[in-house]
A and B are shown apart, each in its own frame.
Chain A
Amino acid sequence: MQNVNWVALTIFVLLFGFITWLGFAAANWRKGDLDQLHEWGLGGRRFGTIVTWFLVGGDLYTAYTFIAVPALAFGAGAIAFFAVPYTIMIYPILFLVFPRLWNVCNKHGYITAGDFVRGRFGNRWLALAVAVTGIVATMPYIALQLVGIQVVIGAMGVSGTGFVADLPLIIAFVILAAFTYSSGLRAPASIAIVKDILIYITAFAAVIIIPIELGGFGKIFAAVPVQKLLLAVPGPTTTGAYGVYATLALGSALALFLYPHSLTGILSASSGHAIRRNAAMLPSYSFMLGLLALIGFFAIAAGVSGLPEYGAGFKQFGNNFAVPALFLHSFPSWFVGIAFAAIGIGALVPAAIMSIAAANLYTRNIHREFINKKPSDKQEAQMAKWVSLIVKLGALVFILFIPTQYAIQLQLLGGIWIIQTLPAVMLGVYTRWFNDWALLVGWAVGTVAGTTMAVVMNLTPSYPVALGGYTFPGYTAFYTLILNLLLAVILTPVFNALGTKRKSIDETVTADYYA
């Protein structure tokens, strides 16, 4: 504990204290009966356009995003900018699909994607597949948020051995768990406002001040090695880096809103209209994400990885230490405190929403479906509160006892898994044409194939598909989604012909999807 940055740490702790108070006070915000699951887990579906904007923005752009996207630019260069086309594409998807989903969920009291699939396709096994996929994909994502907190705490010089080393993270975790338990979704919704303001201040300060310190963008890009500056131009028989870039962007964009925490944020809006308006307003975050990716290049130009004072940090956290090191190098201590608090609080908001979303899935689509079929409202809400604690505890144990690299790799697999729910959820919003068992087979094959391909490629995101002498390297999640869809399309008429007797019931009608 010799090199603690006390000024930064004090500001960090003060801001953390403030959002802790806010998280508990939020229980009384737009007051509702927190013994009902839709009040605890969806904030009573009462958030208007502005709160939804903060909540969804705070939810999607996580602490890990702020650390990992610049870290990828720092390490791998231009490919990290796939985050920009990705973020361009997510809002048309939000605009087109999710107001319809909101309408039908509101009409039938659905709280999760599993609820919707259960109602739409009348198949509880398909709903179970959606729920389990959502929970399993979310767990490593929560763990990565805790990594974000770990990195900034380490960067402030707080260190120790054994239990003492883990104490700050455990304190942050207890705060998170307590206010989520008591206030439900209202807590991250209110904290998201503080988080987003801090993140905006930090991002703009970084993008304006650091280039001035470094002598302008010309000098920064001159310091970036040539092979990192642009995508490698593909050879004659391959789509090369272009294909990887485009499929990473598209696959990630398609997967994003299938994550339970995204859907929880969206369903808490007060109307489908508020979602459409948000799809038009949220791109302001996209611009910031692009600026943040550039910060990775600032770190190259500042040469932080070669400075002895950051050696230990890079050794412990790898490229993820690039952003904290750059901030320590470029900002006065008091502003480092604000910037690190932005990242730390930026971890709590999504982590809270993720644990709530996972809890909703377990409660609705596993517990109520298979264990206790007739819970009272109070029992259901209580179950969700307990599960949210268990989910977070699991993430904490994961981070404390298992190497960070595993969490990153599992998060990568999570993207491959969650995209397999697209046909049932996103296409299900538009059509009931698919046979439910065909969707289940498509999901299973896509999941197994995607996991296998990722393992074969040593848990890197892209896979080189070879066809007729050409090679198409691309995002594994995207390729396996195509496989999944093909199977669902081919098997639907087959299964329909085989099992005409027991056709599953669709409890929704066309009008449910409109405002």
Chain B
Amino acid sequence: MYRGFVTMNKTQKKSGGWSWWYLLFAIQFVIALWPPFYNKAEPYWMGIPFFYWSQLLFVIVAAVLTAVVYFATDD
């Protein structure tokens, strides 16, 4: 597996340093923290306003992104 770029200590072989994969987390934070992205009723899905289904969908997307980071930074 790809190993993250370790800046804290070049000799460290174990997890704990910085990895560029962590930027996927930043995406989650930006989307989650910006209500203008999702504060609307249209389009509805199965009668559910966008505000609700989009955020629930994003829970799944975020879970996938977290899993990607996990596997990408795993030894």
Contact = CB atoms under 8 A, between A and B. Distances in A.
Interface of A: 78, 81, 84-85, 87-89, 91-92, 95-96, 99-100, 103, 216-221, 229-231, 233, 241-242, 245-246, 249-250, 272-273, 276-277, 279-280, 283-284, 286-287, 290-291, 294, 510-511, 513-515
Interface string B53-75: 00110111011001101100010
Contact of A515 (B16, B25, B28, B58): B16
Contacts of B33: 85, 89, 246, 249-250
Interface residues of B, number: 37
A283 B16 CA distance: 21
Contacts of A249: 32-33
Contacts of B46: 216-218
Contacts of B66: 91-92, 95, 279-280, 283
Contacts of A273: 15
B4 to A, nearest CB: 12
Contacts of A81: 51-52, 55
B7 interface: no
Contact of A218 (B39, B47, B60): B47
16 contacts: A92-B25, A96-B22, A217-B48, A221-B48, A230-B51, A231-B51, A242-B35, A250-B29, A250-B33, A276-B15, A280-B66, A280-B67, A283-B66, A287-B59, A290-B52, A514-B14
A49 to B, nearest CB: 12
Nearest to A233: B39
A242 to B, nearest CB: 4
B40 A219 contact: no
A514 B15 contact: yes
A515 B12 CA distance: 10
Contacts of B63: 91, 280, 283-284, 286-287
The interface residues of chain B, by DSSP majority, are classed as helix
Given A87-B59, A96-B22, A217-B48, 8 more contacts: A81-B51, A88-B32, A276-B70, A283-B59, A283-B63, A286-B62, A510-B9, A514-B16
B10 to A, nearest CB: 12
B39 A242 contact: yes
Interface string B7-43: 0110010111000001001001100111110011100
A229 B51 contact: yes
Q: Which 3 A/B pairs are nearest by Cβ-Cβ distance?
A: A218-B47, A217-B47, A283-B63
Query: Among the interface residues B9, B49, B52, B55, which one has the most CB atoms of the partner chain A within 10 A?
Result: B52
B57 to A, nearest CB: 10
A91 B62 CA distance: 9
Nearest to A293: B52
Contacts of B51: 78, 81, 229-231
Nearest to B51: A230
A103 B67 contact: no
A280 B58 CA distance: 15
A243 B59 CA distance: 20
Contact of B36 (A78, A84, A242): A242
B41 A230 contact: yes
B2 to A, nearest CB: 16
Given A89-B29, A92-B25, A221 B16 contact: no
Given A283-B59, A283-B63, A287-B56, A246 B70 contact: no
A80 to B, nearest CB: 11
A227 to B, nearest CB: 12
Contacts of B25: 92, 95-96
Contacts of A277: 70
Contacts of B12: 511, 514
A52 to B, nearest CB: 15
B1 to A, nearest CB: 13
A95 B69 contact: yes
Given A88-B58, A283-B63, A221 B39 contact: no
A346 to B, nearest CB: 20
Contacts of B34: 246
